Amino acid sequence: MHNLEYSLVGAIAALKAIIKLRFNRMKNLLILGGSVDKTSVCLGVYGEELNPDSISKLLSCQPTQAHHRGARQDSNPKYAPYKRGAWLLRLKGSAPITAEELIIDLLSRVSTNSLLWQELSAIYDVQVRIAIHMKGWNKGFNLTAQTVQRISELRASMVFDIYAYGNEENIE
């Protein structure tokens, strides 16, 4: 009888450990819905013959980053040279700031002249990039019809980068 008690105590302890382990794993899976934790948006103009200074003058705005074709990332020889030039304007935010708010702010910084954007998009690849960073696996954002219309007026493609970090504490 004594050995049976020890066996039952051991089995109960093992079951408790398994339940605790599974609960801790499930607890992180139960984070559903809500706002995206961090968002970055970027208006990018890309082209082989792109001159970033010319784009800045046309848009009446300085980029947050720019480079010519053939330049090296961080002037480091271990990176291959860029295959095309780029003019990039980026904004970042954390919840409760939304992708919608960031895009509105981003696009308010550049020209609204639709003819200018028509010409730019005929020569260059114009993109609005949205990167979302989140814990868990089911979060999201929405864009109003007005914001989608404004992006459309730029004749820009939209690119989405989604980074889901599961249970990790720090997200970058």
Distance CA 154, CA 160 (A): 17
What pLDDT, on a 0 to 100 scale, did the predictor assign at position 19? 60
Q: Mean pLDDT check: name the lowest of 9-23, 65-79, 138-152.
A: 9-23
**Which comes out higher in pLDDT, residue 15 or 152?**
152
Helix (H) / strand (E) containing 35? strand 32-35
Cβ neighbours for 117, distance < 8 A, ≥ 6 positions apart: 111, 126, 153, 154, 155, 156
pTM: 0.76
Task: Return the minimum-mean-pLDDT range out of 11-20, 75-84, 120-129, 147-156.
Answer: 11-20
What pLDDT is attached to residue 126? 98
* Angle (CA) 63 64 70, round 5°: 75
In percent, the amount of the chain with pLDDT more than 90 equals 59
| Closest by CA position to 85, among listed 67, 103, 99, 110 | 67
How far apart (Å, rounded) are the C-alpha atoms in residues 6 and 1?
Answer: 9
Main-chain dihedrals φ then ψ at residue 44, nearest 5 degrees: -125, 140
